[in-house]
Structure 1
Amino acid sequence: MTDSHSPQPPVPVFDGHNDTLLKLEMRAQDGRARSFFDEAREDHIDLPRARRGGFAGGLFAMFVPSVRDQAQVRALSNSDPRHFGRVGQAEALDCTLRMMARAFRLERERPDQVRVARSHADILAAMEAGQLAMVLHIEGAEAIDPDFAALDVLYQAGLRSIGPVWSRQNIFSDGVPMAFPSSPDTGAGLTDLGRELVRRCNRLGVMLDLSHITEKGFWDVAGLSERPLIASHSNAHALCPSARNLTDRQLDAIAESRGLVGINFHVAFLRDDGRHNPDTPLETIVRHADHLISRLGEDHVGLGSDFDGCVVPRAIGDVAGLPALLEAFRKAGYGEELIAKIAWRNWLSVIARSGL
């Protein structure tokens, strides 16, 4: 008989975006390597804290930075994305392979605890087995060559999601600057190669993530893709007028495609003043959730934390703090069924609809 006073296990969370593989790789290169399987004082995600927070898995991004220091990134955040500098294909592919290899090594080191998931069925099996489900995602497609040979190889290795562009230009599209206040209509859309990337991803069953693309690029993908539109880590422009957030018209298009928006925890994409202030109340996230649900419906909103790549509200802190956010939803009147949808079910549903 279960003790009614014993703590209940946390609601599982399948999250749309984190930069943990990059953090692990950068620390290793800097001589500050840490084990993913030991609790750390730095960064946002390791396995012990993930277990405490109910973090069951998510899309693990492989991002190739133009600059390595996060303070430099923030200093450039109100600049044109071209100021970040382009990354060459060979460099990007090398860095991407290193992060991908790191994921495979985690799986090989603790196969009972980590699984690199390549399908909807894999994710479900991992969650049922108590394994952390890692879906591999490229944030900015600089690693992909104009002949798409790398795309085919990376897909066979396990890649299942691509953001064609980060907040800088590449051969596929322009990216939006992280400017505030600003419209997302800041530059050009897809190039001819970008259009071909969309077609090839559709054929392979690779999800396309629109979180960093310009508004023109968004509409180019919307007019071309046969799959649900996904913005893995973006918020409502109506509440926070950052170029990185989505207008109501974009949200309506995502709803029409039966896609999904993952709520980004980065405080500068949540606050109406755009400040990098960790003392941002969880009610600010709830307000974005309310707005997204009003435009998309309850079945098309999830979480896209941006852990290990952003300034998180202090009330969450790291992945162990996810239950605090879910409790904020409860206090706002969200029922358990809706909380479960936002926490994990909607992500798994859109992954299935995307053909994975």
Structure 2
Amino acid sequence: MTDTAPTEGTTPPGPPAEACAPPAAITRTTRTTPAWQGSGVGFTGLGHYFPRTLVDNSAGTEATSNSLEDKLLGDLGVLTRYRSDEEETVQYMAVRAAERALADAGLTAGDIDLVILSNWTDRLYGPEIAPRIASDLGMSGVLAFDVCAGCAGFVMGVQTAALHLTGPMGIRRALVISSERFSRRVRPGSKGELVTGDAAGAAVVEVSGTEGRGLIDSQLSTDGTRHHLTGAYPPNGWVRSSPDLIEEAIAHATTVTREILGRNGLTVADLDWFVPHSGTSPIMDGIQKELGLAPERFASNFRIRGNLSSASIPTVLSEFTADGQITPGNLVLAPAVGGGWFYGALLFRA
């Protein structure tokens, strides 16, 4: 989520009239019980892929900015970021992250029944990308489809997979992939370009029944009255965000965090790891301060990877698990907000 100024001669759509009205209260869910506790649904494999080109922000990079970008992005907070080349499409990156997740789970492509891709940066008129990813992985006869939800796409993907796994269709294992080329959705030469990166993260989700591990709860809600907060518009498809994005993102992320913890009889102090979608430095700092989170429990790769949109959460889970920081049995909460407006979270034991 970032702001980009329009190119000369173009007039991006402005926020609707209701954007200027006082913000409405955040709608809360009425559910009182955890969605997945006892279902056995959980992550059994994780993988990630970062492009070949590493960009160093300290290497004399200059960018133009305006007052709104300065407010939304703060002091950047990104040292390095990855930028995909022409070969590294959403499909290409997704396949490689998926292969690593399958290897981590000790599975092959033939073990998967469902493939869900979250992506918004390269959305097409058609066809969807997920079926091609499944084919590239050597799968046949599986159900594969795309979801969006902006930066909250991984939360949507995992919740959707859990619904399929616990449904009547006999789906045993799912592969949820988030693959984004965010660097292409910001104005070249803008300050926003310095905080956005490209990547893919993947998770194998299945009913494993492993004692003391797996999904406990999830939540995903929408509020169309806040659709103006952030979006990508014609003719360039570059992201534009409203001045109140920071306050709204913090408010929604902290509200959904407290709601899902409260429903499960937990507090922030019970968490081993808090893994948010990495939006911007002011948003992450605000969430951490509002919730009173200890810095050592705040897991993010924003500083060295940038804002990876829906790929933020799965790449952090993959990296932090691979290097032994997130360990089996750890209690993890992963909240996200996204253009639309979406807000939600996953609560699970690693």
- Same fold judged by TM-score > 0.5? no
TM range (shorter): 0.3 to 0.5
RCO higher in 1 or 2 (8 Å CA, sep ≥ 6)? Answer: 2
Question: Greater helix percent: which structure?
Answer: 1
Give the TM-score, by structure 2 length: 0.32
